[in-house]
Structure formats: C-alpha cells, structure tokens
C-alpha cells in the first residue's frame, strides 16, 4: 500500500487505522475503546486493553524462535561478547523479576537503572515490565548530583547499578557515584542492587542497603514469575530529559501505545522483522536505546546488537566488522558518530563484507549534507535521516523503506510519520507558514500512540512545557523547521538557538550547515557572542578532518569557512571569529554544548557539565580562546 494512502487514513480515520495496527501485538484483554480524547490534550490509546511489554518482547516468541539470538552484547572495552537466545532471555528475565519481588518491588513501584550497555540492563528493564514496575534508566556514569535529582523525582523503591563501566579503556566506577547520589537525595532508595562485572575490586557494600545480585540469581535460577497484565495507559517507564528550569522532566510512556508504535515503526521505517538483525549504536540510557536497542527489535522477534565501546576502537572499522559478522540488516546511529569516523581513513568503510546491510539510519541531530554524502558514498548504502524526540519515543519525520521508500533528500528527515499531524507555525502570528517559510514545527493533538502521556507527577508542567506556546492547542517541538513544496520537512535547530545580528534572526544550525560544506571541516558549532554594534555576531568553533594540520592550513581552512557562510547565507551571517580546535564539548548522547561554549567565550559560568562526554574538550576550548582565533573580522 502506498505511503500517501496509509498516512491519510492515519490522519482522517485514526481509530480505524490504529485498531488495525494494534493487532500486531498481543492483548491479554482487547481494548474497549481505541481512543479516549475526552480531556485534550491528554489522550488514552487502546483504553481498557490489557497487555505487557515483557510478554510481547519475550514470551510470545518462545514457540517460534526459542534458540534464535535475541540480544548480542559486544564490549570492545572488556573484550567480552555475550549472545542470548530468546529462551535464555526468558529465563534470565524471570530470575531478575524474582529478585525484584524479593526486594519488595511491585506493580507501580519505580526502579532506577544505572548501567552501561550490558545484557543485565536489558534484563532489568524487561523484568520491571514483567511485574508492572516502572523503570527509569539513567545513563551509566551520569554525575551524582543529576542522578540524585532523578531519584528525588521518581522516588524509586530500588536502584540497580553495575559496579563499573568502561570508556576508552578507562574504568568508570559507578558505586561511588551511587553512594554520593543517595547521600545527596532527599528520598534515597531503601535498597541498591549491584551487578558485578569484576571491574571494581574495591567495591564496598553498605550493610542493610546494598544487595549483591549474584546470590539472588543463583537462588532464583528456576523461578517462574507470572506476567502482570497492565491497562494500556499505565506507565511503562520514565525517561528524564533536560528542562529549562534546571529540574529534569520525567517523560512518562504508556504500555500499549508504546508497543503498537514500535511494532509499526520496526516494520515500515526500519524494515526489520522476525529473525533479522538490527544494530543501534545508542546507549540504553537514551530514548533510542529504549525503543530500538531493547523493546522495538524484541517486540518483532528480531536480534538486537548492544555495543559498549567507541566507534574507533580497536579500529575505525569495528562497526562495519560487526555488521558483516552478524549479518546486520539495519543500522541506526547518529550524525555525530559518523563525523567522528570522517576523521579516519575512508578505507575502513570498504574493508568488510556489507552485502547484508540494507539501511543506515542517522538521527538525534540534524544530518548535514557533507556527512550524509560521505558515508553514503563510502559504504555504497542508502543513508536515511529521521527526526524525533525523547518525548515522542519513535520517529516523527522519516522515510519508510519497509513500506514505500520515497526519494531521499539529504538535509531532510523526510515526511510525517503515521498519526503525526504536523504543521509549521509562525512563532509571532501563529499563522500557518507557507512552503519554504521558516516556522516552529508543531503537532496537532491528539498525539499518536507511543508519545509521552505526561510529565511524571506534573500534568501542569506537561501542559506548560509543550502546549502553551500558541493560542491554539498545539504541541510545540521547540524546533525551527521549513516544509518544501514536495512536503519534505527540514529541521533548522532549536528555537532557543537563535542569533540576532543587527535585527536579523539566524539559526545556529543554518550557519553550521554552511561551515560544514567546506571539505576540510569535520564538525562545527556556532554560537552568538555579544557585540556592541550588532547585538550578537556568529562565532565558529570547528574541528578539521586532518587533526594534524599546521597553522597555515588551519588559517586557510578558517578563511574558507567564512567564504562558504558568506556565499551561502549572505554577509549578515558572516562569522566574526573562527576557532579551529581539536575537540568540541558534547554530551554523551552527542549533542553539542553550545551554551557552555558561549559561557566560556563570555567568561561566565559554563553551567552543569555532568553530561560532558570528554572533559578535555572544555580545556581545548579554553586554550583556543587564550591563543586566539584562526580568523577574525
């Protein structure tokens, strides 16, 4: 069936459309009503239906594929690979669920999970889902202060942690961070369950609070824990995202709508079905990790690769080696990761047999043309962008190779996904923007299945954060966008990433795109620095593909970047300064910390740096600011 026909049906006849899609998952009790929209913008999908994420991800596949790998966890940090079949996954999840019950966790209780990409993280998530507990995964190694904030908001009955993680060969001890977070928290969890990896021999247990998982696993190795059947709109998990107030927002996901949306997107967007292999390079602590490392692939009976390590270790071909070794059909990564690989010898892209790899999806930030072209030509594979948010849980804008692949337009994440009624709105007038006219991307409610249902414990904040920006009741993505005459959308960056140069409003992302067209550039970040005359001026920080370039080459590249920006965006966008650096400050999920760059440039407090991936990046920026720019007006 054509995309256009299905999309129109999902918008014009949503209840009929989603009733059909609901048949892709198992219901213990069928929904009594497909959509309850009595209190806009709150909505309830598949109301009255009872199901369970763990059952859909594990139990229902036991008859058809018990010995097929469900998860393959590969760590190039520890050198350990663990392949787990669906039968083994069922056993381990039952054992973990029994341990949770032993520690007093029950239906509706919250459980914070603080672990890296390891199979036990997936066991813990699925065990919570099995008994009806609400998990909240926090990125392993996250700073203690921020972990404490999440603990206080979720008020968990239990915190599950690994003893340690590893990054670039360095052991990151989790237990001291857990102890500090529990000391900082106003409502610390009464119990902490530790999963030992043997990475922290000095791990100290606190009597009465800390529990070693290994003895519990041995005690419950034959346990059979019944599935807790949950109403479709019961909370399945909380995932915290940054808030403008400094207090993190607990995005609350449901059970039934989440499962249905993932089953649909696995088939139509990612083109992965039973027995096929998907490799998402995300961490389980992020939204992609929840949807497309764990739940999505398992719901459709596929095999999912979990990877712990860098894309460049032991060499820059490791990801492609894994694709060849495991017969990966669909890979899902980020533009940032590909830009890291752009600095490496492109011969690594050709070293391994990628005949079974059909699709490379990139998301998490806007995908620039040079990066998309480089990786597409290097691999000889289609590269497909898509756009979504932690809040939506699955793609908002995408192309659908599993159904009806439309032409790829580099720079665009594509067309609206099923159920998303998208508009581009003028931020001042609230009027509909015309074709190729910049505005704010909004979703007309009701939000489709899979999207957040509210912010945990704070309906008022949910309404204020997402539905208070226009007179009309609309979900604001807080992202700038344009829609071209073919209906393709282009994301231009956050609405708060705006530079006002002499009255001209410029998106930082637009300037970054122009800078990145220079062949020497690997990655760029643009900020708006204060200027006495113009109010603000663009300042560029860029890394080069040749990190060993001498001073003359760096200066030439910087001048070339200015020429590109001026040629593409006009003199008003001309950067005031260009700094060539060896690293840019980014979060562990790959997002550029532009506000920290701005603070350092203006010699103010860079703020909370707990999510910083590489602390040396900030020192690199400080040195560059002392040294001076490679180009200045």
Per residue in 159-188, pLDDT (tens digit) is 999 999 998 899 999 999 999 999 999 999
* Nearby residues of 468 by Cβ (< 8 Å), 6 or more positions away: none
Query: What is residue 496's predicted lDDT score, i.e. its pLDDT?
Result: 66
Ramachandran area for residue 430 (φ above 0: left; ψ -120 to 50: alpha; else beta): left
| CATH number (domain holding residue 390) | 3.40.50.12780
In 3-state terms, what secondary structure has residue 612?
Answer: strand
In 3-state terms, what secondary structure has residue 339?
Answer: helix
Query: What is residue 64's predicted lDDT score, i.e. its pLDDT?
Result: 97
Both 147 and 262 in one domain: the answer is: yes
Confidence check: pLDDT of 277 > 90: yes
Both 468 and 602 in one domain: the answer is: no
| pLDDT-based confidence at residue 602 (cuts at 50, 70, 90) | confident
Query: What is residue 217's predicted lDDT score, i.e. its pLDDT?
Result: 97
54 is a domain residue: yes
211 is a domain residue: yes
- 478-489: average pLDDT: 95
Query: What is residue 63's predicted lDDT score, i.e. its pLDDT?
Result: 98
Confidence check: pLDDT of 247 > 90: no
Query: What is residue 625's predicted lDDT score, i.e. its pLDDT?
Result: 93
Query: What is residue 377's predicted lDDT score, i.e. its pLDDT?
Result: 94
Query: What is residue 142's predicted lDDT score, i.e. its pLDDT?
Result: 77
Q: Among 31-35, 186-190, 286-290, 335-339, where is mean pLDDT lowest? A: 335-339
Where b means 16+ CB within 10 Å and e means fewer, 360-370 reads bbbbbbbbbeb
Both 460 and 538 in one domain: the answer is: no
Dihedrals phi, psi of 327, to nearest 5 degrees: 65, 45
490 is a domain residue: no
Per residue in 208-226, pLDDT (tens digit) is 999 999 999 999 999 999 9
Query: What is residue 503's predicted lDDT score, i.e. its pLDDT?
Result: 59
Enumerate the β-bridge partners of residue 210: 192
State pTM to two decimals.
0.86
- Residues 450, 622: Cα–Cα separation, whole Å: 42
C-alpha 110, offset from chain centre = 21
Is 361 in contact with 384 (CB distance < 8 Å)? yes
In 3-state terms, what secondary structure has residue 180?
Answer: helix
Both 298 and 394 in one domain: the answer is: yes
121 is a domain residue: yes
Per residue in 342-385, pLDDT (tens digit) is 889 999 999 999 999 999 999 987 788 888 999 999 999 999 99
Where b means 16+ CB within 10 Å and e means fewer, 81-94 reads eeebbbbbbbbbbb
Query: What is residue 510's predicted lDDT score, i.e. its pLDDT?
Result: 80
| pLDDT-based confidence at residue 505 (cuts at 50, 70, 90) | low
- Residues 306, 117: Cα–Cα separation, whole Å: 6
Query: What is residue 114's predicted lDDT score, i.e. its pLDDT?
Result: 97
Is 239 in contact with 136 (CB distance < 8 Å)? yes
Is 187 in contact with 155 (CB distance < 8 Å)? yes
191 is a domain residue: yes
Per residue in 551-579, pLDDT (tens digit) is 999 999 999 999 999 887 778 889 999 99
- 17-36: average pLDDT: 98
The structural domain count of the chain equals: 2
- 232-258: average pLDDT: 88
Query: What is residue 598's predicted lDDT score, i.e. its pLDDT?
Result: 87
| Structural domain of 604 | 497-632
| pLDDT-based confidence at residue 146 (cuts at 50, 70, 90) | confident
534 is a domain residue: yes
Instruction: Using the structure block, give the residue that is written with the tokens 């026909």.
Output: 5
| CATH number (domain holding residue 531) | 3.30.300.30
Is 546 in contact with 532 (CB distance < 8 Å)? no
Both 417 and 469 in one domain: the answer is: yes
Enumerate the β-bridge partners of residue 73: 82, 306
Ramachandran area for residue 601 (φ above 0: left; ψ -120 to 50: alpha; else beta): alpha
- Residues 578, 79: Cα–Cα separation, whole Å: 41
- 423-432: average pLDDT: 92
Confidence check: pLDDT of 243 > 90: no
- Residues 550, 344: Cα–Cα separation, whole Å: 18
Both 537 and 473 in one domain: the answer is: no
């Amino acid at each position: 069936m054509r995309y256009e026909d299905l999309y129109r049906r999902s918008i014009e006849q949503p209840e009929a459309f989603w009733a059909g899609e609901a048949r892709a998952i198992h219901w213990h009790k069928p929904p009594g009503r497909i959509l309850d929209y009595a209190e806009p913008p709150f909505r309830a999908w598949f109301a009255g239906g009872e199901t369970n994420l763990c059952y859909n991800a594990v139990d229902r596949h036991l008859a058809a594929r018990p010995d097929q790998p469900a998860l393959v966890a590969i760590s190039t940090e520890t050198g350990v690979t663990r392949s787990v079949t669906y039968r083994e996954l069922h056993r381990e999840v039952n054992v973990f669920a029994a341990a949770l019950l032993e520690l007093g966790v029950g239906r509706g209780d919250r459980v914070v999970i603080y672990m890296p990409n390891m199979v036990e993280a997936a066991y813990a998530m699925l065990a919570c889902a099995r008994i009806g507990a609400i998990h909240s995964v926090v990125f392993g190694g996250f700073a203690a202060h921020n972990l404490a904030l999440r603990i206080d908001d979720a008020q968990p009955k239990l915190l599950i942690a690994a003893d340690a993680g590893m990054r670039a060969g360095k052991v990151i001890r989790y237990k001291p961070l857990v102890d500090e977070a529990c000391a900082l928290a106003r409502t610390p969890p009464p119990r902490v369950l530790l999963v030992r990896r043997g990475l922290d021999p000095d791990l100290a247990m606190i009597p009465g609070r800390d529990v070693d998982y290994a003895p519990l696993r041995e005690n419950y190795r034959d346990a059979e824990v019944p599935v807790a059947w949950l109403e479709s709109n019961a909370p399945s998990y909380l995932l915290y995202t940054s808030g403008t107030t400094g207090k993190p927002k607990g995005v609350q996901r449901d059970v039934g709508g989440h499962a249905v949306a993932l089953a649909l997107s696995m088939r139509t967007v990612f083109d992965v079905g039973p027995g096929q292999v998907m490799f998402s390079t995300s961490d389980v602590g992020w939204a992609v990790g929840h949807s497309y490392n764990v739940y999505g692939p398992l719901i459709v009976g596929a095999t999912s690769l979990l990877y712990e390590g860098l894309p460049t270790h032991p060499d820059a071909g490791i990801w492609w080696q894994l694709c060849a070794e495991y017969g990966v059909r669909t890979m899902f990564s980020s533009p940032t990761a590909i830009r890291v690989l752009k600095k490496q010898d492109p011969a690594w892209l050709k070293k391994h047999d990628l005949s079974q790899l059909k699709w490379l999806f990139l998301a998490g930030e806007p995908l620039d043309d040079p990066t998309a072209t480089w990786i597409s030509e290097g691999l000889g594979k289609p590269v497909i962008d898509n756009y979504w948010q932690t809040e939506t849980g699955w793609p908002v804008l995408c192309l659908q190779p599993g159904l009806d692949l439309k032409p790829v337009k580099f720079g665009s994440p594509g067309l609206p996904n099923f159920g998303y009624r998208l508009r581009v709105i003028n931020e001042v007038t609230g009027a509909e923007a015309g074709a190729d006219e910049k505005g704010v991307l909004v979703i007309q409610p009701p939000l489709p299945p899979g999207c957040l249902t509210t912010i945990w414990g704070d309906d008022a904040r949910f309404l204020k954060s997402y539905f208070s920006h226009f007179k009309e009741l609309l979900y604001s993505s807080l992202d700038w966008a344009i829609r071209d005459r073919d209906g393709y959308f282009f994301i231009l960056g956050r609405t708060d990433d705006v530079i006002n140069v002499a009255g001209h409003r410029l998106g930082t992302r637009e300037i970054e795109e122009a800078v990145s067209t220079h062949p020497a550039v690997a990655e760029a970040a643009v900020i708006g620095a204060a200027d006495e005359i113009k109010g603000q001026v663009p300042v560029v920080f860029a890394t080069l593909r040749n990190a060993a370039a001498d001073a003359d080459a760096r200066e030439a590249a910087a001048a070339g970047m200015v020429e590109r920006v001026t040629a593409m965006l006009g003199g008003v966008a001309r950067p005031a300064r260009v700094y060539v650096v060896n690293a840019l400050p980014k979060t562990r999920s790959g997002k550029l910390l532009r506000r920290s760059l701005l603070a350092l440039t203006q010699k103010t407090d860079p703020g909370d740096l707990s999510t910083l991936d590489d602390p040396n990046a900030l020192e690199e920026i400080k040195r560059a600011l002392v040294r001076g720019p490679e180009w200045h007006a």
